[in-house]
Amino acid sequence: MLVRKARLPNEITEIFESRGIKKFNEPQQMAIESGILEGENIVVASPTASGKTIIAELAFVKKFLEKSGKTVYVVPLKALAMEKYDEFKVYEKIGMRIAVSIGDYDSSDEWLEKYDLIICTSEKLDSILRHNPTWTRDIALIIIDEIHLLSDMSRGPTLEVVITRLRNQTRSQILALSATISNAEEISQWLNAKLVKSNYRPIKLEKGIFFKNKIDFGHKTIEINDTEAKPKDDLILLVQDTIKRKKQSLIFLSSRRAAESAAEKLGNEIGKMIKNKKELEKISRKILNVLTHPTKQCKRLARCVKNGIAFHHAGLAAMQRKIIEDYFRKGLIKIITATPTLAMGVNLPAWRVIIRDVKRYSGSFGYSFISTLEIQQMCGRAGRPKYDKEGQAILIAKNEDGIEKLRQRYIISEAEPVLSKLSVEPTLRMHILALIADHTCSSDSELFNFFDKTFFGYQYGSKSEIKRKIDEIIYQLRDFGFVEFSDRSEKSFIKSSFIPAFNISTEKRLSPTRIGKRVAQLYIDPITAKNIIDRTKRIKKDLGDFALVDIISDSVEMYPPLNVKTKEYEDIESLISKKELYRELPELWDIEYQQFLESFKLSLLLGDWMNEMGEDKILEKYGIPPGILYQKLRNAEWLLYAAQELAKVMKNRKAASLLNRARMRIRYGVRSELFPLIRIKNIGRVRARLLFDAGVKTVADIKKAPKQKLIKILGNKLTDKILEEVKS
């Protein structure tokens, strides 16, 4: 279907044609014919790179031009939200106001009222809905990217609740975008949507298995020739072949350590084949300069980049990941070794995808196979639109028997059906409190009805099982002091606005307590909140900021814990005996003792950060990468903010003030004496300490200090900036 013949508004036609889109492909045409422009709910299930985003653009631009309401575009990751924002900015030309909301979880973001297209993660949208903002009434279109992530244990339940909430609160059109999954019909039926299912892919994808120098694609076999006498492992052969063809490759491995090790090993082999050495040297320096003091990991990554290869995982600093992604797209970095999470992240296609590891380690279950859906997501990264006519996805077999096993499991088989994970108790507990706290559900029967409308309720229909779990959680929340309830008769219940889906003779009328409402708004697990409240009550005197950060170090939000090695036990136990804490210490024989040691080790890390230990020393001492350190610091700051807010509700002003002091120290990584300096723009923790030690301790001191003294500490340019800042 030609764009010009699709009866679209001229504004849309002109924008599409200016971007080189002259014709709609199969899934796009099917979506138009199914009524995407007439307000029909649609589920699109088609392969990666099949143009699903264009369908979303058609829908939200139509809503904007009709002035019928806002669009909310829900994505799984913050990085993906920023990528979509950059992609959609083209529509600002027609007056569309576009916003990204991915930050603070304690806000209704009323500023979003002014925007037409709002891009956010499901967690952020969930936190917004808990504050009952007025602008959500204007939502006319909900776009859910990667809806197959309903089956993801960490993200799926929140996405499911958000969709159910919005379906209850608005009459919005729904557009759900998905990879090809086996039960797309079930998802479309749940959403009362039409299904657009297509196998169309603009770039032909060939899936094969590599063993003994040969790639078996089923219909053909390609031999990878090794011209050198010294035998090489499979990965080196495939990567060298990729470079010889002047192509790029993504390699998926099971762990961060494996990704780093493979990148280093491959870099040593392909470095001599790589051109553009001067440009790669510049990129390498950029990566080194992200942190004030480059870590061993930074240096390792920088060395790899010089050879045209990079590793990519959550342990890298966010800016390092962005540098790698940008220069891979530009074609300067030729190879990326990554963990499986990259498959559902930002859009990084390559000519060849290599999957070396099909198992991953889980502390609970040991090694287990990665799902077919995940492997297919990885394979979908192969083939770059505008650059390639075909892409290759190659799995590496460990032995001859493995060839057929890999073919059966990952090449021939359909992806697993998407299954709801909403019944997991910690997740259920958090969402039940939120639904009661914002008065979405004011009785147990309304809760039952709400969950009956979720994908879990649709898929399993086990009313008695979900009712039992909800009942247990309601009583638990009451025991925590977050919910109050009383029974009322069936007669008064029948008069309620909610039509019950269950035959219940009596129902519990539910209402949040003041503190329960605040817990829900703060977006923390109710058990975390209960622990914080109990420990905050013990703050009668100031035991110091270490004791305050220790309050939150065992929270589920701070997982995964820091592993305590056998050789560390004695030192850590010695430090425990020297510290006064607000939480109770378990006995040596308690099953919680190991968990206590792990969380105490995290408290030690937070303490070192607050006492201005350098990032490089912290990373080396605790054996964690920069990305994980920053994630833990962000979460710790948020939990201390939550603790401060709960202390305010309890009218414990002293505790709130002390917790705020600890929060600021975590935020800036300094002792409290540096607070006046650290809040000045362009002065970080290192510069603040240098100024303080030189006798420049306040803004007033900066103003009256001789300029040469400041220049000696800060340099010419920065001194001018800071003097300008303190004048304003």
- Two tokens, residue 417: 């059906």
**What is residue 493's predicted lDDT score, i.e. its pLDDT?**
40
Q: For residue 417, tell me if it sits in a domain.
A: no
Q: For residue 436, tell me if it sits in a domain.
A: yes
Share of the chain above pLDDT 70, in %: 95
**What is residue 501's predicted lDDT score, i.e. its pLDDT?**
47
**What is residue 364's predicted lDDT score, i.e. its pLDDT?**
60
**What is residue 548's predicted lDDT score, i.e. its pLDDT?**
97
The pLDDT of 395-420, averaged and rounded, is: 91
Q: Please answer whether residues 405 and 468 qualify as being in contact, where contact means their C-beta atoms are separated by less than 8 angstroms.
A: no
The pLDDT of 391-396, averaged and rounded, is: 95
- DSSP letter, residue 411: I
Could you please report the per-residue DSSP string of 48-95? TTSSHHHHHHHHHHHHHHHT--EEEEEES-HHHHHHHHHHHGGGGGGT
At a CB cut-off of 8 Å and minimum separation 6, what does 469 contact?
423, 425, 428
Mean pLDDT of the chain: 90
Q: 55: closest CA among 73, 18, 28, 25?
A: 28
Q: Which residue has the higher pLDDT, 545 or 293?
A: 545
pLDDT digits (tens, 9 = 90+) for 354-387: 999 998 877 666 788 889 999 998 998 998 777 7
Phi-psi region of 383 (alpha: psi -120 to 50; beta: other; left: phi over 0): left
Give the domain range for residue 68. 3-197
The pLDDT of 229-246, averaged and rounded, is: 84
Q: For residue 608, tell me if it sits in a domain.
A: no
The pLDDT of 685-690, averaged and rounded, is: 92
On whether both 62 and 184 belong to a single domain, the answer is: yes
- Two tokens, residue 329: 């797209």
On whether both 257 and 280 belong to a single domain, the answer is: yes
Q: Please answer whether residues 394 and 209 qualify as being in contact, where contact means their C-beta atoms are separated by less than 8 angstroms.
A: yes
pLDDT band at 98 (very low <50, low <70, confident <90, very high): very high
On whether both 296 and 355 belong to a single domain, the answer is: yes
**What is residue 462's predicted lDDT score, i.e. its pLDDT?**
67
pLDDT digits (tens, 9 = 90+) for 162-203: 999 999 999 999 999 998 788 999 999 999 999 999 999 888
- DSSP letter, residue 135: G
Strand partners, 72: 118, 142
Instruction: Average the pLDDT over each of 192-201, 223-232, 437-446 and give the range with the smallest value.
Output: 223-232
At a CB cut-off of 8 Å and minimum separation 6, what does 568 contact?
601
At a CB cut-off of 8 Å and minimum separation 6, what does 171 contact?
none
Q: For residue 639, tell me if it sits in a domain.
A: yes
On whether both 208 and 193 belong to a single domain, the answer is: no
Q: How far apart are CA 171 and CA 622, in angstroms?
A: 51
Give, to the nearest 10 degrees, the angle between helix 425-437 and helix 444-452.
120
Domain boundary among 378, 412, 446: 412
User: Which residue's entry shows tokens 């090794």?
Assistant: 226
- DSSP letter, residue 114: G
Q: Which residue has the higher pLDDT, 269 or 610?
A: 610
The pLDDT of 507-530, averaged and rounded, is: 94
On whether both 659 and 688 belong to a single domain, the answer is: no
Residue 434, pLDDT above cutoff 50: yes
CA 175 to each of CA 12, 167, 442, 455: distance values in angstroms, whole numbers, following the listed order: 19, 12, 30, 16
Domain boundary among 466, 497, 520: 520
Q: For residue 100, tell me if it sits in a domain.
A: yes
**What is residue 503's predicted lDDT score, i.e. its pLDDT?**
46
How many other C-beta atoms can be found within 10 angstroms of the C-beta atom of residue 589?
Answer: 6
**286 phi and psi, to 5 degrees?**
-60, -45
pLDDT digits (tens, 9 = 90+) for 620-662: 899 898 999 999 999 999 999 999 999 999 999 999 999 999 9
pLDDT band at 498 (very low <50, low <70, confident <90, very high): very low
Residue 154, pLDDT above cutoff 90: no
On whether both 656 and 716 belong to a single domain, the answer is: no
On whether both 536 and 631 belong to a single domain, the answer is: yes
Q: For residue 549, tell me if it sits in a domain.
A: yes
At a CB cut-off of 8 Å and minimum separation 6, what does 294 contact?
288, 302, 616
pLDDT band at 345 (very low <50, low <70, confident <90, very high): low
Give the CATH number, domain containing residue 135.
3.40.50.300
pLDDT band at 257 (very low <50, low <70, confident <90, very high): very high
On whether both 470 and 531 belong to a single domain, the answer is: no
Domain boundary among 520, 536, 556: 520
Phi-psi region of 141 (alpha: psi -120 to 50; beta: other; left: phi over 0): beta
pLDDT band at 499 (very low <50, low <70, confident <90, very high): very low
On whether both 276 and 332 belong to a single domain, the answer is: yes
pLDDT digits (tens, 9 = 90+) for 449-497: 999 999 999 998 767 778 888 999 999 999 999 999 887 644 444 334 4
Strands 483-489 and 506-512: antiparallel
**42 phi and psi, to 5 degrees?**
-135, 135
At a CB cut-off of 8 Å and minimum separation 6, what does 666 contact?
549, 606, 609, 610, 633, 636, 637, 640
Q: Please answer whether residues 449 and 498 qualify as being in contact, where contact means their C-beta atoms are separated by less than 8 angstroms.
A: yes
Q: For residue 609, tell me if it sits in a domain.
A: no
On whether both 284 and 400 belong to a single domain, the answer is: yes
Q: Which residue has the higher pLDDT, 727 or 605?
A: 605
Phi-psi region of 439 (alpha: psi -120 to 50; beta: other; left: phi over 0): left
Give the CATH number, domain containing residue 461.
1.10.10.10
The pLDDT of 130-145, averaged and rounded, is: 93
Residue 427, pLDDT above cutoff 90: no
The pLDDT of 247-270, averaged and rounded, is: 93
Residue 429, pLDDT above cutoff 50: yes
Q: Please answer whether residues 382 and 392 qualify as being in contact, where contact means their C-beta atoms are separated by less than 8 angstroms.
A: yes
On whether both 211 and 305 belong to a single domain, the answer is: yes
**What is residue 489's predicted lDDT score, i.e. its pLDDT?**
46
**What is residue 202's predicted lDDT score, i.e. its pLDDT?**
87
Give just the sign of the alpha carbon dihedral 224, 227, 228, 229. Answer: positive
Share of the chain above pLDDT 90, in %: 64
Give the CATH number, domain containing residue 713.
1.10.150.20
On whether both 271 and 401 belong to a single domain, the answer is: yes
The pLDDT of 208-213, averaged and rounded, is: 92
Residue 106, pLDDT above cutoff 80: no
Domain count, the chain: 5
Q: For residue 450, tell me if it sits in a domain.
A: yes
pLDDT digits (tens, 9 = 90+) for 318-344: 899 999 999 999 999 999 999 987 877
Give the CATH number, domain containing residue 585.
1.10.3380.20
Strand partners, 510: 485
**What is residue 227's predicted lDDT score, i.e. its pLDDT?**
59
Q: How far apart are CA 553 and CA 639, in angstroms?
A: 9
pLDDT digits (tens, 9 = 90+) for 531-571: 999 999 999 889 999 999 999 999 999 998 899 988 998 99
How many other C-beta atoms can be found within 10 angstroms of the C-beta atom of residue 717?
Answer: 10
**What is residue 360's predicted lDDT score, i.e. its pLDDT?**
83
Q: Which residue has the higher pLDDT, 42 or 388?
A: 42
pTM (2 d.p.): 0.89
